[in-house]
Amino acid sequence: MSSREGGPQASLIVDSELRELSRVSAWVRDWAQHQCLPARVAQNLDLCSTEVVTNIMSHACGTCANGTRRIFLRLGWQGDDVTLDVEDEGSKFDLRQVPEPTPATSVLDARVGGWGIPIVRRFSDGLRYRHEDGRNCLTLLFRATAPP
Partner 1 sequence: MDLRSEQLADGVEKISLVGRMDSLGGHDIDLRFAALVASRKLLAVVDLSEVSFLASIGIRTLVINARAQALRGGGMALANPQPLVAEVLKMAGIDTIIPVYPDVHTACSALMAAAESR
2 in contact with partner 1 (CB under 8 A): no
Q: Which of 37, 47, 64, 138 binds partner 1 (CB under 8 A)?
A: 47
Look at residue 12 and give its three-state secondary structure: strand
Do 51 and 119 meet the contact criterion of CB atoms below 8 Å apart?
Answer: yes
Amino acid at 117: I
Could you give the CA distance from residue 101 to residue 141 in angstroms, rounded to a whole number?
22
Q: Which of 19, 97, 132, 133 binds partner 1 (CB under 8 A)?
A: 19
Write down the least CB distance from residue 3 to partner 1, Å: 27
Can you point out the beta strands (E) in 40-146?
70-78, 81-88, 126-132, 135-143
98 in contact with partner 1 (CB under 8 A): no
1 in contact with partner 1 (CB under 8 A): no
Residues within the interface to partner 1 (CB under 8 A)? 18-19, 21-22, 25, 40, 43, 46-47, 50-51, 54, 57-58, 103-108, 110-116, 118-119, 122-123
